[in-house]
Amino acid sequence: MTGEGPFEYGVDGPKVIVAGVDGSETSLHAAAYAWGLARRSGARLIIVHVAPIAALSTLTAGGAAVMREAGEAVAGDLRRELERAAERADVRYEFVAEQGDPFSVISRVADESRADAVIVGASAQAGHRLVGSVAVKLVRTGHWPVTVVP
């Protein structure tokens, strides 16, 4: 360690954190973890909510509208929770709500923001063990460190 400068506290770590939140319990745990990490490190936090467009919902007359309304309701709840959390702790955050494929949107936001870290909740759906979850796809992409929160 000779020749190196003194150890510096709080200068390393992520400066931009992207957290994917779908309203599930594990995604809310991921958001809470990301919030704390952003608060402690002074990072900018981007919370991304993606309302998926289910292929079957577009086959029925009002299916797509119902899916859109449900996604908007979850996004509204998340937005209110973020505002309440911001009153208690000073965290620079932004909220992105879109419709589409969660993996694609989270990846795009992480790339565009030059994220240092991506945080998502673990999938609780059994089928994801076979076909892969959003978290697994993000890890396989390998562009950013990904933390999967249980």
Query: DSSP string covering 39-76, please?
Result: HHHT-EEEEEEEE---GGGGGSTTHHHHHHHHHHHHHH
Q: What is the mean pLDDT of the chain?
A: 82
Higher per-residue confidence, 123 vs 111 = 111
Percent of residues, the chain, with pLDDT higher than 90:
47
Q: Which of 39-48, 51-60, 75-84, 132-141 has the lowest mean pLDDT?
A: 51-60
- The fold of 20-148 is Rossmann fold (3.40.50)
For residue 42, CA distances in Å to 10, 11, 26, 92, 107 come to 9, 9, 24, 8, 22
In this predicted structure, the answer to whether residue 2 has a pLDDT above a threshold of 70 is no
Amino acid at site 3: G
Residue type, 8: E
Q: How many residues does the chain have?
A: 150
pTM of the model: 0.80
